[in-house]
Structure 1
Amino acid sequence: MRPRFGRSRALGGAALTSVLLAGCGGDAAVPPEDAPPVPDELACSEGTISGAGSSAQELAMQVWIAGYQQECDDATINYDPIGSGGGRSQFIDGAVTFAGTDAALHGEETEEARDRCAGATPVNLPAFAVPIAVVYHVDGIDTGLNLSPETIAGMFNQDITAWDDPAIAADNPDLDLPDTAIQPVSRSDESGTTENFTEYLHAAAGEAWPHDASGQWPIEPVEAGQGNSGVASAVEGGDGMIGYVEVSHAGELDAANVGVGDAFVAPSPEAAGRVVAEATPREGNEEHDLALDLDYGTTAADTYPVVLIAYEVACLAYDDAEEVDLLTGFLSYVVSEEGQRAASAETGSAILPESVRADVRAVVDVITVD
């Protein structure tokens, strides 16, 4: 099986152009026939809010903004995909209304954000669950590539350095592997995608990955790219490359099937959704915080475990009623069935389980004016 994701990236670029034109005050907007579906009862509000953060949910955010603004003419929502770490920092500094992050706010950041929220609790709201694709570009490998967790870890830890290494051959007995040097590509910026990917390696690869999970790549990189798009471009640009990207940024790149138990599983919304459905609340969550723990080391059948959940981080209280009305209306659309299906069609993301979406709606309903 050879997963391909070219449609999502192409449509994402068109959506971005339309959203930018609308958001900058131009006459152009998303044509009605291209706008994503919205619920029959959509809470429209007027004004402007801004968010920043996760590049993994960049294309999904374009879809949600296009759908909401097409229906709500007096609303403007801006989003800057600067990366999860940058988004959390801007939220804590009060520069944006909400942050998008692939790694939930926790610890010292939560306390700093509490100050920004005028003493109210900052909350992590699951909005987007998507496979992280292990993408590669290797002349001579033009069929599906299987990689066990230990093999992936060895390649990214620079212990496995050639594409005909015995470990890769053991995963792919039917492939004629070239002796091309392996060129792993990691993120240059602090990244929730990196944190989720290294959490997967830490949980699933055992001693083959001797590093803790981190949003910063833990070793000196061979090559690095800014954001998911930077990693994808680097992998596209050379022979022997391998990288990790949120699946909607994979474009025309090949994606490996990942070893799970005795099988190899391709990234798909359905396979990723099975991990999300089994997620549990993060230990130590405060009331209304919906951060989740994923079982990255699962061996369940037909499950793709290399998954990230992107959150929208918001305050439970703001000092501006217009800001609250617009934020809560927009977030309600994001986790609606229509919003989730629109994002999935564009990006290959999993549709969040109804139980998770109901929990998010309940928290959105208690966001108030201080």
Structure 2
Amino acid sequence: MNLKRFGVPAVVAVTAALALSSCASNEGGAAAPEESASTLSGNLVGAGASSQDTAQQSWIAGFQTANPDVTIDYDPSGSGAGRDTFLAGASDYAGSDRAFKDEEIAAGGFTACAPDTGIVELPVYISPIAVVFNLDGIDSLDLDAATIAGIFAGTITNWNDPAIVATNPDATLPDLAITAVHRSDKSGTTGNFTDYLAAAAPGVWTAGSVEEWPIEGGEAAQGTSGVVDAVTGGSGTIGYADASRAGDLGIVSVKVGDEFVPYSPEAASAVVDASPFAEGRTEGDLAIELDRNADDTGVYPIVLVSYLIACEEYADAANVELLKSYLAYTASEDGQATAATDAGSAPISDSLREKINAAIDSIK
């Protein structure tokens, strides 16, 4: 890890704690030091994207272990609820599966932020969104964008529909109704999924890129875990969820160019690095405009980029250094490796990390 890049106490604290632990281990069971190397203390509150929950719990555990006088609480209430909580000043930071829109930022109202200052948005969690299904005897399917869109739009209603058969000639597809499961809550995962449908199959999916499910019918479920539970508990069900929660469900490989690509962290990361930042944002606002129609080999286009969102400048600076330390840990090589192991996310690239660290350093 290159400590000079971070410039905040968290990495020092984490590294020092690990070093002390290592020394104790190497000395054949010597007692741990009576005092922690960390000088950080206090409480942070975050709320938002349920897709981040596994990664957040891993980050929190690692950070609190190195900084025992720190407590961090994260409520996986969903992206929309998390943004609302942050706007109201009831949390130190938000987790969101989409960046704030230009018009939302222009409207202001960020209660915790100093007047006339903006926000920083840090893309620290990158993950494919898996299209998951439950069909007896079938573990994987190949589907193109138009077929996926037709299923969720309600125009393809049976598993032996010719469009599904055409790309899965070797599968024994049942004469069984499709139950498409979607999120009941306002969700960044829904926003990213419908953004893909609108970009890749606009002639079939005409409802646009939206965070609240716009189509009647199907089955609604609360949160990522609710969708996974509904698909798991049904027969002939299909849904979409952060890939870290796919478990043993059947998985769809998505047509990209002339091939069908299964999800993977590497394929998700490739799309992000190939996509530009949104124009007209401040230097610390690292919102990414994902290229949903990328057709490079090995690219998986149904990707979720989830952000940690904070103020450029806080009206009350009491928790600023602690917050900056925690944010730096989530973006660090160690933090990203922990999330990759526990949540199956794609570690951010070194070039993106440098931009994120610069944004964190600018927080006041």
TM-score, with length taken from structure 1? 0.86
Shift in Å, 1:206? 2.8
Structure label with greater radius of gyration: 2
Q: Are 2:145 and 1:149 equivalent residues in the alignment?
A: yes
Contact in 1 for aligned 2:112/2:315 (Cα 8 Å): no
Q: Are 2:56 and 1:55 equivalent residues in the alignment?
A: no
218-227 vs 162-171, greater mean Cα deviation: 218-227
Equivalenced residues, count: 328
1:281 corresponds to which of 268, 277, 280:
277
C-alpha distance in 1 between matches for 2:38 and 2:353: 17
Structure 2 gaps of 5+ residues are 1-20, 23-36
Counterpart in 2 of 1:325? 321
2:228 corresponds to which of 229, 232, 250:
232
- Please list the CA deviations of residues 338-357 of structure 1 after superposition, one character each: whole Å capped at 9, or x if unmatched: 10011011111111111111
Q: Are 2:102 and 1:107 equivalent residues in the alignment?
A: yes
2:311 corresponds to which of 294, 308, 315:
315
Q: Are 2:76 and 1:66 equivalent residues in the alignment?
A: no
Contact in 1 for aligned 2:128/2:263 (Cα 8 Å): yes
Counterpart in 2 of 1:29? none
> SS in structure 2 opposite 1:56?
helix
Contact in 2 for aligned 1:185/1:221 (Cα 8 Å): no
Q: Are 2:239 and 1:243 equivalent residues in the alignment?
A: yes
Alignment of 1:1-370 (within 5 A): 45-110=40-105, 111-119=107-115, 120-141=117-138, 143-368=139-364
Shift in Å, 1:44? 5.7
Shift in Å, 1:322? 3.5
Structure 1 counterpart of 2:341, one-letter code: A
Structure 1 counterpart of 2:280, one-letter code: G
Counterpart in 1 of 2:34? none
Structure 2 counterpart of 1:245, one-letter code: A
User: RMSD of the alignment, in Å?
Assistant: 1.6
Query: What percent of counterpart residues are identical?
Result: 48
C-alpha distance in 2 between matches for 1:249 and 1:240: 19
- Please list the CA deviations of residues 176-211 of structure 1 after superposition, one character each: whole Å capped at 9, or x if unmatched: 111110000000000000000000011111301111
C-alpha distance in 2 between matches for 1:158 and 1:342: 39
> SS in structure 2 opposite 1:206?
coil
Shift in Å, 1:125? 1.0
310-319 vs 177-186, greater mean Cα deviation: 310-319
